């Protein structure tokens, strides 16, 4: 009986280890990920997960417009299918649409390769139907990258994206002050910020929605311009061209 318990405990620790390592933004064991952009220009990328949502995403769009900022939205396919008009508003505002899977599952990293491929293809099909430019970037639900996730993303021509700063606005127990402190503490050239423009489920308003203006005001105070992830990464080519 004791040997069975030890085996189960060992298995649990291995699974947790896989999840932990796969979620660490600075670790690329399971495939290369973009964690931050080039630091040669005063640019940051704000990225939003789990939308679109007819109320909270529109609040984010309104705040971004107020500051003249742009962002990248990692959308859930089934939500994009449900709210195509919000998806259109994201694009009309000059923002970028990226992929966050068709369904948001905490077990995403443990799905088999074929199930992962089906999920990503379903999400891509929804975006194609809504005339969204083919996305370049993919962030898996919960941010966990397993070997199958990395492989399927690579096969579909999607670049995995992590983050360099996050405020944990996706969880209900994060305090507003702590969120703002974490986010502003990580604002520096090349930063990729992880926020949420919609709750994973339910109607809770993420702090990334309600406190976004404070983050943008701090970025503005530091002389940082919020751009799409695509623009942030493209700035590397501009920097290299000027140095030649």
Catalytic residues: 49, 196
| Number of neighbours of residue 103 by Cβ within 10 angstroms | 15
Q: How far is it between the farthest Cα atoms of the chain?
A: 68
Helices (H), 103-228: 113-129, 147-155, 176-185, 207-210, 212-221
Q: Look-up: residue for tokens 């919609």?
A: 198
CB atoms within 10 A of CB 94: 15
Which secondary-structure segment (H or E) carries 45? strand 43-51
Q: Going by C-beta distance under 8 Å and a sequence separation of 6 or more, which residues neighbour residue 26?
A: 35, 162
């Amino acid at each position: 009986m004791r040997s069975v318990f030890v085996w189960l405990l060992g298995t649990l620790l291995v699974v947790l280890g896989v999840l932990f390592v796969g979620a660490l933004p600075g670790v690329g064991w399971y495939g290369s990920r973009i964690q931050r952009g080039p630091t040669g220009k005063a640019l940051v990328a704000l990225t939003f997960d789990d939308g679109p949502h007819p109320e909270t995403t529109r609040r984010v769009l309104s705040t971004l417009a107020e500051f003249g900022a742009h962002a990248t939205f990692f959308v859930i396919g089934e939500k994009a299918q449900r709210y195509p008009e919000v998806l259109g508003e994201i694009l009309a505002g000059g923002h970028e649409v990226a992929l966050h899977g068709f369904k948001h599952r905490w077990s995403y990293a443990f799905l088999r390769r074929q199930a992962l491929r089906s999920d990503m293809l379903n999400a891509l099909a929804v975006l194609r139907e809504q005339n969204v430019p083919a996305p370049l970037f993919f962030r898996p639900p919960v941010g966990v990258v397993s070997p199958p996730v990395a492989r399927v993303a690579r096969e579909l021509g999607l670049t995995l994206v992590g983050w360099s700063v996050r405020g944990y606005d996706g969880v209900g127990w994060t305090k507003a002050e702590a969120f703002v402190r974490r986010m502003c503490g990580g604002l520096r050239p090349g930063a990729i910020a992880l926020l949420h423009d919609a709750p994973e489920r339910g109607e809770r308003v993420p702090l990334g929605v309600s406190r976004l203006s404070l983050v943008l005001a701090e970025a503005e105070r530091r002389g940082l311009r919020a751009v799409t992830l695509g623009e942030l990464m493209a700035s590397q080519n501009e920097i290299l061209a000027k140095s030649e």
